[in-house]
C-alpha cells in the first residue's frame, strides 16, 4: 500500500480503541506477573516480528528476572486485511532453546494459524517450558483451536493498527491502538 500524504494517513485512523495509558498499565502488570511466575529464574523472550516489537520493547523494560531476547519472523498477512492462510517462517531464532524457559511474545492472535505453527515448531526443540503472551486476541476470527496462556486485551472482530500493528507496513509507530478505516463510507 502507498500512502501519498499526511491527510490520507490520518483519515484511515477511524477511532482509538486502546489508549497509550491503558496499554502501558497492562504492559506493566504483565511484567509483574512474569516476575512473580518465574521468581528469579532466567527466561528467553521470543518476539514474533514485526508486529510485536513495540510490545516486547515496553514489556522487557519492566521485567526484572534475568532475560534474553530472541527474534523470529513469521508472516501470514500480506497487503490485505484477510489472512492468506499461509504461515511462513522468514527468520528463525539464533538460540538453541533447549534448556530455556521460553515466552513467546505476540502482537495479536487472529485465526490462530501463526502461533499454532510457531508453537508446534518451538515445542519440538524441547524448551524447559513454553508460554505464549499476546497483547491482543480476536477470538471471533479463530480458524484453529489455539489459546494463549495470557491475553492483555480481548477485542472484537476489527482490523486494528498501531503499537506495532500495521496496515501495508504503515501505522506501527502509533503509541495507541486504533480501528482501521477500510472504506470512506466506513
110 annotated active-site: yes
| Residue 51 contacts Mg ion per CB under 5 A | yes
| Residue 164 contacts Mg ion per CB under 5 A | no
| Residue 178 contacts ligand IMP per CB under 6 A | no
Given the complex with ligand IMP, which of 65 and 116 has the nearer CB atom?
116
CB of 124 to ligand IMP, least distance (A): 19
Residue 90 corresponds to which cell in the numbers above? 522468514
Q: Which of 3, 26, 53, 83 binds ligand IMP (CB under 6 A)?
A: 83
| Residue 162 contacts Mg ion per CB under 5 A | no
Contacts 24+ apart (CB under 8 A), 73-80: 73/48, 73/49, 74/48, 74/49, 74/114, 74/117, 74/118, 76/111, 76/113, 76/114, 79/1, 79/168
Sheet of 67-75, strand order: 88-91, 67-75, 43-49, 101-109, 129-137, 150-154
Interactions with ligand IMP, residue window 85-124 (CB under 6 A): 106-114
- Applying CB under 6 A, the residues found at the interface with ligand IMP are 51, 76-77, 83, 106-114, 159-160, 165
Amino acid at each position: 500500500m502507498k500512502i501519498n500524504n499526511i491527510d490520507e494517513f490520518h483519515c484511515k485512523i477511524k477511532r482509538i480503541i486502546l489508549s497509550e495509558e491503558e496499554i502501558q498499565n497492562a504492559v506493566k502488570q504483565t511484567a509483574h506477573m512474569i516476575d512473580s511466575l518465574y521468581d528469579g529464574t532466567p527466561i528467553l523472550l521470543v518476539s514474533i516480528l514485526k508486529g510485536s516489537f513495540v510490545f516486547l520493547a515496553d514489556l522487557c523494560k519492566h521485567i526484572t528476572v534475568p532475560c534474553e531476547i530472541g527474534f523470529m519472523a513469521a508472516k501470514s498477512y500480506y497487503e490485505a486485511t484477510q489472512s492468506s492462510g499461509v504461515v511462513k517462517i522468514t527468520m528463525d531464532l539464533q538460540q538453541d532453546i533447549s534448556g530455556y524457559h521460553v515466552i513467546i511474545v505476540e502482537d495479536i492472535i487472529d485465526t490462530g494459524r501463526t502461533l499454532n505453527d510457531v508453537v508446534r515448531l518451538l515445542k519440538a526443540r524441547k524448551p524447559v517450558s513454553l508460554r505464549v503472551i499476546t497483547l491482543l486476541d480476536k477470538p471471533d476470527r479463530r480458524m484453529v483451536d489455539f489459546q494463549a496462556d495470557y491475553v492483555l486485551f480481548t477485542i472484537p472482530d476489527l482490523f486494528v493498527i498501531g503499537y506495532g500493528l500495521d496496515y501495508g507496513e504503515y501505522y506501527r509507530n502509533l503509541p495507541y491502538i486504533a480501528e482501521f478505516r477500510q472504506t470512506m463510507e466506513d
